[in-house]
C-alpha cells in the first residue's frame, strides 16, 4: 500500500489555504488541567494567584512551575524563582509571572540565584561579593524570563517534580503531567 504525500494532496493544500496558513506545524491538544488558560496567564501576570502547594512543582533546573509555565513565588517580601534551601514550607503560596503580581518590591532570594548560578552568581566566592550584590539589586523578572523560557514549557523536555527536596517521593495527581 502506498501512502499519500499530503504535501502534494490538493484537498489538503486547499484546506490549508482557506485556513490562511502555508506552514506545517505541531498540534498539542489543550488540557486545562495541564495547560494555562488565557485567563490564568493574565491573572498570573497582573495580580498573581494564591495557589495550594500540591499544584505547584519544580523543574529539573530547579525553577518553580505551575502547569506549563515557570512562575515566581513571593513569601515575606522575598521572591523565589527556584526550589532552594531557603524555600519556605507553606500550604499556599502567592504566585505570579510579573513584578506587578506581588505587593511591594520583594527582593530576589540569593539562595535561588545560587542554585541556578544566575548570571554567574556565587556566594561562596568572597571576591564576587560586590558583583553578587549587583546581581541581586538589578534582578528583574523580565530579565530572568529572557534567560529562562516562561511559557510554554516543552512537555517533551521538562519533567516536573514535587516542591519537596526528596526525589523519591511520589508525585501528586496532575503535577507530573503539568508540563
54-95 per-position pLDDT tens digit: 999 999 999 999 999 999 999 999 999 999 999 999 999 999
What's the mean pLDDT when you consider all of the chain? Answer: 86
Asked if the structure places residue 169 within a domain, the reply is no
The confidence score (pLDDT) of residue 170 equals 37
Report if residue 55 sits inside a domain.
Answer: yes
The larger pLDDT score, comparing residue 164 to residue 18, is at 18
Cβ–Cβ contacts within 10 Å for residue 61, how many? 12
- On the question of a cis peptide bond just before residue 67, with omega within 30 degrees of 0, the verdict is no
47 φψ region: left (φ > 0), alpha (ψ -120 to 50), beta (else): alpha
* Domain-located, residue 52: yes
In a domain, 121, yes or no: yes
16: left (phi over 0), alpha (psi -120 to 50) or beta: alpha
Domain count, the chain: 1
In a domain? residue 61:
yes
Question: What pLDDT is recorded for position 164?
Answer: 65
The CA dihedral of 151, 156, 159, 160, to the nearest 10 degrees, is: 50
Please compute the mean of the pLDDT values over residues 31-52 and round it to a whole number.
94
Distance between CA 33 and CA 174 in Å, rounded?
A: 7
In a domain, 142, yes or no: yes
- Per-residue pLDDT tens digits for 3-13: 778 788 888 88
Q: Per the domain annotation, does 173 fall within a domain?
A: no
Residue 118 CA, distance from chain mean position: 15
Q: Which residue has the cell 505551575?
A: 66
**The pLDDT of residue 2:** 81
Band (171; pLDDT cuts 50, 70, 90): very low
Which pLDDT tens digit goes with each residue over 105-127?
Answer: 899 999 999 999 999 999 998 88
Q: Is residue 4 part of a domain?
A: no
Range of the domain at 59: 29-154
pLDDT at 11: 87
Instruction: Name which residue leads in pLDDT, 124 or 21.
Output: 124
What sections of 26-119 are H helices per DSSP?
38-46, 110-116
Write down the pLDDT at residue 40: 97
Task: Reply yes or no on whether the pLDDT at 48 is more than 90.
Answer: yes
Alpha-carbon distance of 32 to 46, in angstroms, equals 20
**What is d(CA 37, CA 69) in angstroms, rounded to the nearest whole number?**
11
Amino acid at each position: 500500500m502506498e501512502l499519500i504525500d499530503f504535501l502534494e494532496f490538493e484537498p489538503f493544500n486547499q484546506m490549508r489555504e482557506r485556513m490562511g496558513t502555508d506552514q506545517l506545524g505541531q498540534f498539542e491538544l489543550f488540557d486545562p488541567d495541564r495547560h494555562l488558560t488565557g485567563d490564568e496567564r493574565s491573572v498570573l501576570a497582573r495580580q498573581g494567584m494564591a495557589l495550594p502547594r500540591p499544584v505547584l512543582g519544580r523543574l529539573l533546573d530547579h525553577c518553580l512551575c505551575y502547569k506549563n509555565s515557570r512562575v515566581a513565588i513571593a513569601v515575606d517580601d522575598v521572591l523565589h524563582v527556584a526550589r532552594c534551601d531557603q524555600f519556605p514550607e507553606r500550604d499556599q503560596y502567592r504566585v505570579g509571572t510579573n513584578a506587578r503580581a506581588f505587593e511591594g518590591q520583594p527582593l530576589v532570594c540569593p539562595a535561588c540565584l545560587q542554585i541556578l548560578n544566575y548570571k554567574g552568581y556565587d556566594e561562596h566566592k568572597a571576591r564576587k561579593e560586590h558583583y553578587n550584590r549587583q546581581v541581586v539589586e538589578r534582578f528583574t523578572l523580565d530579565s530572568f524570563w529572557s534567560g529562562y523560557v516562561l511559557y510554554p514549557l516543552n512537555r517533551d523536555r521538562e519533567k516536573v517534580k514535587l516542591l519537596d527536596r526528596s526525589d523519591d517521593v511520589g508525585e501528586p495527581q496532575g503535577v507530573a503531567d503539568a508540563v
